[in-house]
Amino acid sequence: MFHFKNPHSSASWPAILSLVLLVAGGCGPDSVREEQKLSEDRASAEPLPLEISPGEVKALLDGQADFFLLDCREAEEHAAASIAGAALLPMSEIQGRVAELEPHRGRHVVVHCHLGGRSMQVTQWLREQGFDRVQSMAGGIAAWSEEIDPSVPTY
């Protein structure tokens, strides 16, 4: 190690040089990758918008994204029309059955209903319960049928 002298002192500066080299060493490719990872973590920690479009949900399904699709309509509505892969948990029962959603607390959850009103209420309630990554599908299953899959019956 080089020893630099302070012109105003007879002491050498090996400790300062070590610190400078340590800081400078944090500028390499590994540090860039670590900073990118931190940026991605910060981005995923940012709150999601309250709503997501049916097209965005379709893209998540097509891309096999890790998310949970929750149908908050009543059983009769679900029987009449449904989106493949959606789990039914009616809004009328959600407070008493919220423990069933606990395994999905950290995941992206998309809630849908008939037209988007109930799913927005469920989304806001779940966020109040600490489910931070919940979104309501805008327009509900009616918009899904109109925009994505016309084979899904409307009612």
Neighbours of 90 (CB within 10 A): 18
Biggest alpha carbon–alpha carbon distance for the chain: 88
**Residue 57 within a domain:** yes
pLDDT confidence of residue 45: 62
| Residue 37 token pair | 């990872």
39 with 58, same domain: the answer is no
Q: In the block, which residue shows the tokens 């050498």?
A: 12
62 with 26, same domain: the answer is no
| Active-site pick, 52, 101, 109, 113 | 113
72 is known as an active-site residue: no
The yes-or-no verdict on residue 68 having pLDDT over 70 is yes
CB of 107 closer than 8 Å to CB of 66:
yes
81 with 93, same domain: the answer is yes
**What are the pLDDT digits (tens) for 104-123?**
999 999 999 999 999 999 99
What domain range is 32 assigned to?
Answer: 1-46
User: Structural domain tally of the chain?
Assistant: 2
Residue 153: band (very low, low, confident or very high) from pLDDT cuts 50, 70, 90 = very high
73 with 137, same domain: the answer is yes
The yes-or-no verdict on residue 33 having pLDDT over 70 is no
Rounded to two decimals, what is the model's pTM? 0.71
| Residue 82 token pair | 């449904």
